[in-house]
Amino acid sequence: MQVPFVDLKAQYHSIKKNIDDAIQSVIEESAFIGGKYVKEFEQQFASLYGVKHVISCANGTDSLYILMKVLGIGTGDEVITVANSWISSSETISQTGARPVFVDIHPEYYSMDETQLESKITPNTKAVIVVHLQGQMCAIDAIQSICQQKGIYLIEDCAQSHFSEYKNNRAGLFGIAGSFSFYPGKNLGAYGDAGCIITNDDQLAEKCRMLANHGALKKHHHLIEGINSRLDGLQAAILTSKLPYIIEWTEKRICNAGLYSKYLAGIDQIVLPAVRPNAKHSYHLYVIRAQQRDALMEFLKSRGIECTIHYPTALPNLPAYKYLGYTKADFPVATAYQEQILSLPMYPELSEDSIKYIAGSINEFYSAKKK
C-alpha cells in the first residue's frame, strides 16, 4: 500500500467541476488581480469564520509582516514567539527590524509554554506571536491575559489552525488579529501561494489593506509606501470553491485522528497527541513522539508510508539564529522533541484502511525490535 503524506489530487477530484468552472470564469473575465473573485472570497471567508474583516494577501508570511509593520513594530523592538514553528513566525519579526525572542514549547501540547512567557517580556516587547501549531490551540486564554496586562499586542499565527477553537471561539479571534496561510497543503489550501489577515478592528484592517497594496486604498493615491502582496483572482476563486467543504473536511481530519488514536493505542514506544481541554484541534498535522524516530520513519518509508517532521530543527537552533547567542539548554523541550516528533499522513480523504495499515506497520516495527 502507498500512503502519501498529503493527497491534494484526491481532494481536487472530489470537487473537480467546481474548481475547473471557477478557474475558467476567472480567465474568461480576466479577473486576475483584485476584483470580484478576491472580494467574494474575502466576504465569504469572513462570514463563514465569523470575523468582520478579511484582508487577503500573497501568502501567510506576508500577512505576519504586514500586521507587525502596521502595528508600528520595528528596530529596537522585541517580539516573542515560540521555539518550534515554521520560520515565517520569526523571520517576519526580523524583517521589520525587531528582534525575535523565543519561548520553549509546552511538553504536552507542543505550543508556547505559557508559564515561561512573562519571564521573556522586557520594556522593549511590543507583541507576542503565538502559533496554534499542528491545529492545536495554544494556551490562548492565559497568554491573552498576560498580553492585556502588559499592554502588548497578541497576534495569532493560524497558518495551521483554520477553524480550530478554544471554548467555542475560533483561532485568530483572541488577539488584535489572526494570520492565515492558504499554502496548498494547509487545511484550506489554494493552488499556489495565498494568505490573509483577519481582524475585527476597522482601523487595523484598513491599514493592512493599504500596506499590502502599495500604500494605496484608491489607485494612484499612495498615502504611504507599501508592498505588493495581493491574492490573485485564480487563487481566490479556487479558495471560494473549497469553502462549502471546509467544515466537513475539518471534521474528517478529527475523525481520522480518532482512528489513529484507536489503532495506535497501547504502543508504549510512542506518545499520541493530547488535546488541550476545552479546545477543538483541527489536525493540520497528526504528530506523535516516537522512540527510534529516524529508524521508524525509514521503516515506514519502506512500507510505502510517507511521513515528515515538523520541524527537524527548533527555530533557535537554526543557523539563521546563531547570532542571537542561544544554546540548546535554553530550549530543552523543543530541543529534545526535535529528535522525537513524527508527523503521520493526515488529510480528510485518508481512509480507515490506510490508518490501520500505518498503525499496523508501527506496531510491527516495535515488535520486531523487541525480539
Ligand X SMILES: *Cc1c(COP(=O)(O)O)cnc(C)c1O
Q: Restricting to residues 130-159, which ones interact with ligand X according to CB under 6 A?
A: 131, 157, 159
| Complex with ligand X: residue 139 or 159, whichever CB lies closer | 159
Size of the site for ligand X (CB under 6 A): 15
d(CA 334, CA 327): 12
**Closer residue to ligand X in complex, CB, 133/358:** 133
* Smallest distance, ligand X to C-beta of residue 14, A: 23
Site track for ligand X across 296-335, x = CB under 6 A = ----------------------------------------
- CA nearest to 231, candidates 212, 207, 206: 212
Any bridge partners for residue 129, and if so which? 155
Q: Is 364 helix (H, G, I), strand (E, B) or coil?
A: helix
Instruction: Return the number of the residue (89 or 199) whose C-beta is nearest ligand X.
Output: 89
Contacts with ligand X in 84-113 (CB under 6 A)? 85-86, 88-89
Nearer to ligand X, 77 or 193 (CB): 193
Under 8 Å between Cβ of 193 and 186: no
Q: What angle do CA 133, 135, 138 make, to 5 degrees?
A: 55
Q: How far is CA 104 from CA 304, 315, 327, 330, 337, in A?
A: 34, 10, 12, 8, 11
Least separation in angstroms between CB 161 and ligand X:
9
Question: 186 catalytic, yes or no?
Answer: yes
Residue nearest to ligand X (CB): 60
CA dist 129 and 131 (Å) reads: 7
Compute the least distance from the CB of residue 89 to ligand X, in Å.
5
Catalytic residue among 9, 39, 120, 186: 186
Residues whose CB falls within 8 Å of the CB of residue 297, separated by 6 or more in sequence, listed in order: 307, 309, 342
Contacts (CB under 6 A) with ligand X, residues 12-71: 59-61
How many whole angstroms separate alpha carbon 313 and alpha carbon 172?
Answer: 26
Taking the CA atoms of residue 25, residue 29, residue 34 and residue 39 in that order, the dihedral angle to the nearest 10 degrees is -50
- Closest separation between CB of residue 38 and ligand X, Å? 16
Q: Give the residue with the Cβ less far from ligand X, 188 or 350.
A: 188
81 is a site residue for ligand X (CB under 6 A): no
C-alpha cell at 367: 515488535
Rounded to the nearest whole angstrom, what is the least distance from the CB of residue 6 to ligand X in the complex? Answer: 13
Q: Which is nearer to ligand X, 264 or 315 (CB)?
A: 315
To the nearest 10°, report the CA torsion of 324, 327, 332, 335: 80
Cα separation, 348 vs 282, whole angstroms = 11
Whole-number minimum distance, CB 357 to ligand X, in Å? 27
Q: Which of residues 160-199 bind ligand X (CB under 6 A)?
A: 160, 181, 183, 193, 195
What residues make contact with ligand X under the rule CB under 6 A?
59-61, 85-86, 88-89, 131, 157, 159-160, 181, 183, 193, 195
Residues labelled catalytic: 186
